[in-house]
Amino acid sequence: MSNQRYEKLRAERPELFRNEPGGIEILTDPAAVAAAGGVLHQDAYMLLVRDPVRFPDGSRGTYIRSLSPTPEQGCAVLPLLDGDVVLIEHFRHSTRSWHWEVPRGFGTAGLSDEENAAKELREEIGAVPDEVIPLGEVHPDTGLSSHRVSLFAARISGTGPLDKAEGIRRCLTVPFAEAEAMVGDGRITDAFTIAALMRARLAGVAGEAP
């Protein structure tokens, strides 16, 4: 069954299986796929596959990847309130720890990237954006994951109820420079948040009031 799902995935999303000259080649013969295992796990949040591969030195083996379960891109949004940064304190099961982060989430079919950004703000901090500013894309973990995430800054006028069911216990509004200091001293370790802050700084929207 996992091999059939693997072949279906390869047909539906060929961009995930392209081979580049000089890179690690994904093998397609059925025997190699069967030996590798194909799709190892799939649910609404994760798709884990083991690919049969040929390495650049000619040796063969397998490689595990985490893929997005849907073609839609996720997003991470840096909320700006009068030029200050709004952060959420979010409990993450994977680390069993609280983290200061910006709102983020999976993509939703039928919504544009900007609409997904607005949805995450609404769901996580009860905010409606006055302006959504694209900040490019980021690959959060190129060694393991194919995920590609859109980054945004969003000017907001205020916050509302927090999504406590998602493990968000409070939000904090700090000057942009303080958010950067939180990265420097290790209070912020979330890669999406660090990337969004850096991209906002490079885009010239850091600390700007509407």
Number of domains in the chain: 2
Residue 47 lies in a domain: yes
Last residue of a domain, one of 50, 67, 84: 67
Query: What pLDDT band is residue 175 in, cutting at 50, 70 and 90?
Result: very high
Residue 37 lies in a domain: yes
Amino acid identity at 167: G
CA–CA gap between residue 105 and residue 95 (Å, rounded): 17
Residue 101 lies in a domain: yes
Residue 208 lies in a domain: no
Mark whether 108 and 154 lie in a shared domain. Answer: yes
Sequence-ordered list of residues with C-beta below 8 angstroms from that of 52, at least 6 positions apart, any chain: 26, 27, 29, 32, 33, 35, 36, 60, 61, 62
Cβ atoms of 127 and 165 closer than 8 Å: no
Residue 156 lies in a domain: yes
pLDDT tens, position by position, 34-70: 999 899 999 988 899 999 999 999 999 999 999 988 8
Is 30 exposed, middle or buried, given 0-12, 13-18 or 19+ CB atoms closer than 10 A? Answer: exposed
Mark whether 17 and 106 lie in a shared domain. Answer: no
Mark whether 80 and 59 lie in a shared domain. Answer: no
pLDDT tens, position by position, 93-142: 999 999 999 999 998 889 999 999 999 999 999 999 999 999 999 998 99
Mark whether 52 and 83 lie in a shared domain. Answer: no
Last residue of a domain, one of 18, 38, 67: 67
Last residue of a domain, one of 14, 43, 67: 67
Sequence-ordered list of residues with C-beta below 8 angstroms from that of 6, at least 6 positions apart, any chain: 33, 38, 39, 49
**Residue 192 belongs to a domain with what CATH number?**
3.90.79.10
Mark whether 98 and 63 lie in a shared domain. Answer: no
Mark whether 54 and 11 lie in a shared domain. Answer: yes
| Domain carrying residue 57 | 1-67
